[in-house]
């Protein structure tokens, strides 16, 4: 009951914040001629606002039942596609991603999709979302590489973090029930560590006044938090849902800096 109340509260706050961000990003479109990123950002916020609204209304009207396939699932998939388009639209230096990075991004997305299928059993939805996540992770890694937002040791740390996370999540299916909480807790610690990692990188980029790196890192941070949300349940889910909201504010602030800088 408390978990449900926190969920509804977090969701309501997120809706209010995203509505304000949507209004501000629409205003941003008129402020610059090179406004494609702002157009896509407005689209992203509009989609997320309606997805959240749909979910909140459903939760309030039918709290006991599991939501069937509905428009919000298509909305979420389209949202990630448009997020990838937003990131792509802001890339200044078109680069070819080295095979190692490409393989890493694809592997992480596919592993996530496999884990979702094992948790929920919704094969079609999870395969479609997984395919979109492959594209999204590819776009994010390419954008970060194009701006040199992470140094080589930081890429290694990120790769180790992702590998350890997938390993811990997989172990929760393999180990006996009485020790399941150990890999589960480790996975949550790694998810928090990932969020902290991207936050630190974002702060560093802010200090160095690297506006494009800031923007791509803010997108990477929110995508990490949402990936963490999809991997979590109960209060952990609520925690990542709550963390998502300031992430959306960071999106707007960093896109505004990029649009103003053009």
Partner 1 sequence: MIFSENILICMALPLLLTVFLVRDNARRLVINFIIGMVACLLGAYVSGFIDVASGYGTEDTAIFISPVVEETMKFLPLLFYFLMFEPEDDRLFTAAVGIGAGFASYENVCSMITSGTESLSLLLIRGLAVGVMHIVSVSVLSLGLMIARHYKVSGLSSMLGALSVGMLFHGVYNLLASERGIPSAIGFCLPLITAILMLLAYRRLQT
Residues that bind partner 1 (CB under 8 A): 23, 26-27, 29-30, 36, 39-40, 43, 46-47, 50-51, 53-54, 57-58, 61, 68-72, 74-75, 77-79, 81-82, 84-85, 88-89
Q: Which is nearer to partner 1, 57 or 160 (CB)?
A: 57
**Crossing angle for the helix pair 99-120 and 152-174, to the nearest 10 degrees:** 20
| Least distance in angstroms from the C-beta of 42 to partner 1 | 9
Question: What is d(CA 258, CA 86) in angstroms, rounded to the nearest whole number?
Answer: 12
Q: Which is nearer to partner 1, 138 or 202 (CB)?
A: 138
| Least distance in angstroms from the C-beta of 74 to partner 1 | 5
Closest listed residue to residue 44, CA positions, set 189, 238, 255, 241: 255
Q: Which is nearer to partner 1, 135 or 188 (CB)?
A: 135
Q: Which is nearer to partner 1, 38 or 217 (CB)?
A: 38
| Least distance in angstroms from the C-beta of 87 to partner 1 | 10
Q: Which is nearer to partner 1, 197 or 252 (CB)?
A: 252
Token match 């040791």: residue? 153
| Least distance in angstroms from the C-beta of 143 to partner 1 | 14
Alpha helix ranges (H) inside the chain: 2-29, 36-61, 71-90, 99-120, 123-146, 152-174, 181-207, 211-230, 234-261
DSSP-derived letter for residue 208 is T
| Least distance in angstroms from the C-beta of 98 to partner 1 | 24
Q: Which is nearer to partner 1, 88 or 154 (CB)?
A: 88
| Least distance in angstroms from the C-beta of 254 to partner 1 | 19
Cα angle vertex 75, ends 45, 216, to 5°? 45
Token match 């069937």: residue? 68
- Is 165 in contact with 190 (CB distance < 8 Å)? yes
Widest distance between CA atoms in the chain: 59
């Amino acid at each position: 009951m408390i978990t449900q109340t926190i969920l509804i509260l977090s969701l309501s706050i997120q809706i209010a914040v995203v509505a304000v961000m949507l209004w501000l990003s629409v205003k941003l479109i008129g402020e610059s001629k090179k406004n494609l990123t702002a157009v896509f950002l407005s689209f992203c916020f509009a989609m997320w606002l309606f997805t959240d609204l749909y979910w909140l209304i459903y939760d309030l009207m039918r709290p006991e039942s599991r939501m069937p396939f509905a428009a919000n699932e298509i909305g979420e998939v389209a949202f990630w596609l448009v997020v990838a388009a937003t990131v792509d639209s802001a890339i200044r230096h078109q680069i070819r991603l080295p095979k190692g990075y490409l393989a890493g991004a694809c592997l992480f997305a596919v592993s996530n999709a496999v884990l979702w299928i094992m948790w929920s059993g919704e094969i079609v939805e999870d395969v479609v979302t997984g395919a979109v996540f492959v594209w999204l992770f590819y776009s994010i890694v390419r954008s970060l590489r194009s701006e040199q937002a992470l140094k080589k040791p930081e890429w290694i740390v990120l790769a180790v973090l992702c590998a350890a996370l997938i390993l811990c999540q997989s172990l929760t299916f393999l180990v006996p029930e009485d020790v399941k909480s150990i890999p589960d807790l480790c996975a949550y610690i790694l998810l928090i560590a990932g969020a902290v990692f991207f936050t630190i990188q974002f702060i560093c980029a802010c200090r160095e006044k690297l506006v494009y790196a800031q923007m791509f890192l803010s997108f990477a941070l929110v995508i990490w938090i949402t990936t963490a949300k999809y991997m979590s349940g109960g209060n952990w889910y609520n925690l990542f849902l709550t963390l998502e909201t300031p992430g959306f504010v960071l999106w707007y602030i960093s896109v505004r800096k990029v649009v103003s800088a053009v």
